[in-house]
Chain A
């Protein structure tokens, strides 16, 4: 390779996973959560990981999010090796690059919507303001409400604002509609799609609701710790078109 080639590398996927396995030892029982997963995620795409409980999708999300390390195999995020079990490095990775959205929102009850977002923007290098982030999720009017004063859907939108306010490269959503009714769920998905579209954030959504797959660029089907198949949607549906 010449120096020239090193400086201008060919476009690479944002995530590259090869031969990922994850084995949990639960007492005397061995659980193979991942059994050799190969997967590339491209910058800016919206990917839905679909599969039944225990199929390995959450384990993969945890590894991509820097919360867990694989038993074997490699996973890279750009230049970062995510198989390294280094708490400080992983914390830094999550802080700089990853936005998380939880199934149960996990807002800080003692902070208002604005403050929940500010919590993250205070420790980020180039964040949007909390007000911008909350406007992005349609909550400009409820910024000074505490979580206990908001509905589940509103809380989840605050959570999304909190996740994207630091302008992460990756947004990881673990069952973001799992605790919401369909109507509210659609609203939340709409916000996720908008963030993906407007900010170009690579977005991974875990769900076992197959309907949601229709809004993705690609759908990765999981089964028994393996990627069963990958489908590309030629025509993504808007979140508003989804029904369940």
Chain B
């Protein structure tokens, strides 16, 4: 009984462990986020604009429900980091000189804030400082508004506005090449000719305020100043990224623990059922002595409570430990000043109740069946079981089956429900492994599509402002550049009926080879001379089909309002965009031939010289190397995915072991006498081992394909819940993943089977000569 109890306790432990792990992480991250936002006054509404006079501030503040307004200067800058040749960009944000407790406050990790008015002092985001091993007192240069300027790092800090720091247009964090930094408001304003003016706003609202109303009113006020449209916190990039991460975590928190609890309930049911069956006589004796059914039931419930209790206590400990590990992983990708990790009592209570309910459900029925027997009836041995020919044999396969094989098949059929549950349990184990691995496969596939088939440039260059088309030829003239494709990016709001979405239209040259748009079947799409192409997911968001007309509100320049027809949908897994022919886009926004950047095919030997040449080109806002992006991403995935793969595999092994070991042990108690009789008749250990374990072998072999299918389904479920406008996850599983899952399950099943097989050596052959069933 000890090992069976251990197996059950382990499965309960996994269930409680995953529940506590996911929920405690979720709670920790939510609590941390809440506290951080509150303490550091994270703004509620954000606005970007071209340039507005400081006097506009009061008019914004007069909007009902607006609590505080902070005007800011925000700029994309280029940096020259000592001992790092590659291009580095940063977002420079102004800090209020007069209000030390302004919105989006900084959490200083090192040093101090810049002295007001000092144009050479900056605070740098901690991850960037760490990536470059920068400390207060270190110096580097930046290009501010086309002017090279020496900067001194006076502090490192984190901000609730940037818990996640992604370069615009990039899907993966890269603290080495992108950072956030802060400078005093006056100094930065002067650098960007925004003295007494601003180009960014952060607002906080009074409790209960209607954010949309404030956004509408603010938009009215800022439109004349080149406003790009106000947006609420829920659309703020860093916040959105993190919120969606939490949503996904919530999905996993609801999926996995319930599977473990289901398996635990099943195991308890079969083990307690068998235990009760073996103790029929004791139960009858107790009842004969006058014990009530309730007292008998109570006895077994206590036993189950002890087993489940061990699982619960160890599960909570495991869950807290794993939760801390998992939170730690999140803390590496999301930047918080601290982590508020605490185990909520409700989590413990919920996990305990769920486990006890699962355990109780598994027990009550089995015990009740035994308890309701009359004592005299219960004291007699159970009647011999009835068998009949299996369906497989009736199909005409009978003559091909040996007697031991017939025994196996008939036993499976007679205990069809229990066999089905065993299959389901093993299948779940198999499926869980797939879910732990599929993200890795999927990400590999996404990278292949994104960077192997669609974005195939070596470098991408973006300009500080829309630039004349002839810049294309300047680029082509640089040594090492073999191929140039230019693009134009225009921020827009797309509308279809009551639906709207803020994104950018990218104008690209037709017939491009570096940058290709793909259709649903991943074939390159020809760019239409007219009309607009949308990412398929954007099509869903706006509920448009090919041929529909949408309204395009251009968010820059003189902001024309136009209409365009949807010429097609393109497949993209990252982000949502719209595409047009470059010339058509320029006509569309009433501009001459201008470009925002270019994709370059580069001879790799010239990469380093090109980097330094770009540094000397003030109009170049940033340079990104795709290969580097992929490397960054793989590094990030390795860390997180390894954790999930490891946890999922270990838990799956525990489930497989729990199910197979318990099933085998029960089969051994149920059929020990039969097997011993066969030994007496001259069957070898291997032959009776086949009869005992063949059944489990068959069930495992049925379970594995089922489990792979179930796992795929779980992957689809997870992928579906992860679908959002930042990224869509296709379900891709490579053959090796299936093979790995199947192998892990087979090996765990084999080991647990062999553990029971060893007991066959200790069968008492003499006892069976004498004892009745």
Contacts and interface: CB of A to CB of B under 8 A. Distances in A.
Nearest to B674: A108
Contact of A98 (B682, B685, B773): B682
Interface string B372-415: 00000000000111111000000000000011101100110010
Contacts of A115: 403, 406
Interface residues of B, number: 34
A226 interface: no
Nearest to B761: A87
A146 B384 CA distance: 10
Contacts of A67: 680, 765-766, 769
B736 interface: no
Given A91-B684, A94-B680, A162-B681, A148 B766 contact: no
B411 A110 contact: yes
A74 interface: no
Given A123-B683, A148-B384, A102 B768 contact: yes
B587 to A, nearest CB: 82
A119 B403 contact: yes
A122 B403 contact: yes
A222 interface: no
B681 A120 contact: yes
A94 B773 contact: no
B387 A100 contact: no
A111 B403 contact: yes
B407 A94 contact: no
A32 interface: no
B681 A100 contact: yes
Contacts of B673: 106
A147 interface: yes
Interface in A114-163: 115-116, 118-120, 122-123, 146-148, 162-163
Contacts of B410: 110-111
A19 to B, nearest CB: 22
A205 B461 CA distance: 98
B677 interface: yes
B772 interface: yes
B770 A103 contact: yes
Contact of B680 (A65, A96, A110, A123): A65
A76 interface: no
B418 interface: no
Given A68-B766, A106-B768, A147 B384 contact: yes
A88 B773 CA distance: 27
Contacts of A110: 385, 387, 406-407, 410-411, 414
A123 B682 contact: yes
Interface of B: 383-388, 402-404, 406-407, 410-411, 414, 673-674, 677-685, 687, 765-766, 768-773
Interface of A: 58, 62, 65, 67-68, 87-88, 91-92, 94-96, 98, 100, 102-104, 106, 108-111, 115-116, 118-120, 122-123, 146-148, 162-163, 174, 179
Given A62-B769, A65-B680, A123-B683, 18 more contacts: A92-B682, A102-B768, A102-B769, A103-B769, A106-B677, A108-B407, A109-B387, A110-B411, A110-B414, A111-B403, A115-B403, A146-B386, A146-B388, A147-B384, A148-B385, A148-B386, A174-B769, A174-B770
Q: Which 4 A-B pairs have the closest CB atoms?
A: A95-B682, A106-B677, A94-B682, A119-B403
